[in-house]
Structures are given as C-alpha cells and as structure tokens.
Chain A
C-alpha cells in the first residue's frame, strides 16, 4: 500500500471505510502537517501533535467532500489552517501561539529560537501564509485556496510579512550574512 497513489487510497477510504488506507495517508502526510503546525505554535510539539491529530480526524469526516479539484495536500492544509483558526479563536488572546517557545528538534537550538522569534513578529495569518509560501513552497493560487482569501489579500499579507521579517532579520544581522554567503 506504500506505493499506492493518494487518489486510490482516498477512494478506498470513501467507499470501503478502509482504515489501513487512511493510516497510509496519515503516515504519508503527517510530517508536513506537523511541520506546518510547529511553525505556527512556536515549536510547541505537544500542541502541534494535538492539532495535527485533529486535522486528520477532520479529514476522515470530510474526505467524502474531497472532489479532486485541487491537490490532496492543498485540501489537507486547508483543514489544518481551519483547525489552527479554531484553536486561535478558542484560546484568544493566549498561550503558546503568542508566547515564547519551548522547542526541541533537529537543527541547532540557537537557530531555532531565531526562526521562532522571527515568526513571532508576524500575525497568525501572516505566519501561516509565510510558512506555506517559503517553507512548504506553495504557489499564491494554492495559498488562496488554503486560507480562503482573495489573491490580493494573500499578496498583501505576504508583502507585509516579508517586510516585517526582513526588518527583523536586518536588525539581527541576517541580511549581511546572506550577502556574504552570496559573494563567496
């Protein structure tokens, strides 16, 4: 089942309630979804896992609504984004999404704090759009489907977020580091 494509697995879940097929879908997409949440929750792994689980459970309930008009991962990210928005609404003005991080992961800790501090300069919506655009490599058209906003709004969020991030990075010497790397 590992090499079966997503559409076939989705069909099996829809028609036969095939849990193994659903498990394969979860296995295949969980790291991307968890990575997305990790950047939205300031690196809070427990919260990330909770939100990612909620995303997949919502996917299970809504999989019959997937018409295949966009890619499956776009559909999944759209659910993830809605789960995140629900969480923010429920826990306003709060906790880990707005606070300093408690992190643990694969790259050096000092760099992690930098990326989280940099992302903290942004509003939750800007943070989601920046993550989708720069880290998950989504095009603006796909992002408009995920966040359900007009293209112009997404572009202006991205523009504002880019400027904020750049100012933060400049203030912390990252611009020069990047130029230095290019010159070499």
Chain B
C-alpha cells in the first residue's frame, strides 16, 4: 500500500498499539469437543458408498474366481495346483484387505 508520510506515521502508531495490546483468546479445551458435538449425524458420503460398492463387488468376484478356479483347474497335476491356489490366494487376499479397510473405517467412526 502506498502511503504518504502522515498516513505512514498514523499506520505505525495504530499498528504498534494493536499488535502490542491484541487480546488473545483464552485456551478452551472443550471448544473442539462442543463444536463436533453440534454437527449433524453422519450420513453416507460418496466416498463411503464407493468403498461399500467396491467391497461388495470384491466379495462377488471372490466367489466367481473361486468357483472358476475349482471347475477349470481341478487339483490333479502339480502345475494346476499352483494356478488354482494362486487364484484362490489372490482373491482371498484382496477381499480380506477391502473388508479390513471397511471394518477399520467402521471402528474409527466410534473414536
């Protein structure tokens, strides 16, 4: 801001006065708690809905992969066992991760 000498001097005096005497808000440790308490009840958001849909799809996909693997790769030879188990383990692992994420998120809502 361009100021003339008079304004500059007034600016300096006012700034000095205000910065030296500004009131600091007293610490209020309940403020955040009270504010959060006044928020509306939680509702499903897009993010949560997407996660829920992904989990359901993962569970269905897990069932299909499992069924496909057991039908097309019957456990006979050594190689087939490896392919079948790989499919099953991959499906179980990804489904378990997605379900775990959902459970963690659900638990987190209470803390």
**Residues of A that sit less than 8 Å from B by CB:** 15-17, 19-20, 22-23, 26-27, 30-31, 34-35, 38-39, 43, 45, 48-49, 52-53, 56-57, 60, 103-107, 111-112, 114-116, 118, 130, 134-135, 140, 155, 159, 162-163, 165-166, 169, 174-175, 178, 181
Cα-based distance from A56 to B11 in the complex (angstroms): 32
Question: Nearest Cβ distance between residue A31 and chain B, in whole angstroms?
Answer: 5
Residue of B nearest to A181 (CB): B16
For A130, give its contact among B18, B21, B105 (CB under 8 Å).
B18
Residue of B nearest to A104 (CB): B26
Cα-based distance from A174 to B14 in the complex (angstroms): 9
Q: How many chain B residues have a CB neighbour from A under 8 Å?
A: 38
A-B pair count, CB < 8 Å, reads: 120
Bits for B22-66, please: 1 = Cβ < 8 Å to A, else 0: 111111100110111011001101111000000000000000000
With a cutoff of 8 Å between Cβ atoms, the chain A residues found around residue B12 in the complex are 178
Interface residue? B10 (CB, 8 A)? yes
For B14, give its contact among A26, A34, A134 (CB under 8 Å).
A134
Kindly list the 4 A-B residue pairs having the minimum CB-CB distance in the complex, ordered from nearest.
A34-B25, A15-B47, A115-B21, A134-B18
Interface SS of A by simple majority = helix
For B39, give its contact among A16, A27, A38, A60 (CB under 8 Å).
A60
Is the beta-carbon distance between B45 and A16 smaller than 8 angstroms? yes
Question: Nearest Cβ distance between residue B86 and chain A, in whole angstroms?
Answer: 33
